[in-house]
Amino acid sequence: MKGQSVIYAGVASGNYKGSIHYSEPSDGLFRSEDNGQTWQQVLPDIPEYGEPYAVSDIDMGADGRIYVGTMPNVDIEGGAVILYSDEGLSGSWWVYDNYVQIIENNPQYKIPGRVMVAPCPHPILTLCTHRSLPDTIVILIIIEAVIYLNQQTRDKLGHQ
């Protein structure tokens, strides 16, 4: 129908005030083409876990590519990953997990393994800022999504 848009909703189970709250029917990125009447989960499953990734952030590049940052689910699986898709449909997602260990091994963050994304117009190691954290420097990685790195981690990677 003319004038309708596709809607995406990121879902993540979590621990709130000491109690685990599970998402129903699951974690993931849900897509609706009928103004929210029906939803389909579109992200791939976490390898060897069998459940979708828990979403921590969603953004869209100027070219329409959708980026999703993940966080660990309640079983501490699937965090520190960036997924991206040009179609936003099930089966169309690329998984970028090259920095998982570096991100997860950084204990200073309140939610270790949480990835925020912010598409930038230029590829490979461009510095930019995220719209919700304008004072935070982020580093653009090869797939044109970003991960937040503190100075200690940037030093380990050899970045300024």
53-108 pLDDT, tens digit per residue, is 999 889 888 788 899 989 888 888 898 899 999 999 999 999 988 878 777 776 66
3-state secondary structure of 31: strand
pLDDT of residue 126 exceeding 50, the answer is no
Cα(81)–Cα(134) distance, rounded to whole angstroms? 22
* Torsional class of 131: left (φ above 0), alpha (ψ -120 to 50), beta (otherwise): alpha
* Total tally of structural domains belonging to the chain: 1
Name the band, by pLDDT with cuts 50, 70 and 90, for residue 125. very low
Q: Is residue 137 part of a domain?
A: yes
pLDDT of residue 17: 82
Q: Is residue 113 part of a domain?
A: yes
Q: Is residue 1 part of a domain?
A: no
| Residue 25 preceded by cis peptide, ω within 30 | yes
Q: Is residue 140 part of a domain?
A: yes
Q: Please tell me what DSSP assigns to residue 153.
A: H
Q: Is residue 2 part of a domain?
A: no
Give the distance, in angstroms, between the CA of residue 120 and the centroid of all CA atoms in the same chain. 15
Query: Which domain, by its residues, includes 27?
Result: 7-157
Q: Is residue 99 part of a domain?
A: yes
Let me know if 137 is exposed, middle or buried by CB neighbors in 10 A (0-12, 13-18, 19+): middle
Let me know if 117 is exposed, middle or buried by CB neighbors in 10 A (0-12, 13-18, 19+): buried
Q: Is residue 126 part of a domain?
A: yes
Q: Is residue 89 part of a domain?
A: yes
pLDDT of residue 122 exceeding 70, the answer is no
3-26 pLDDT, tens digit per residue, is 568 889 988 887 778 888 888 888
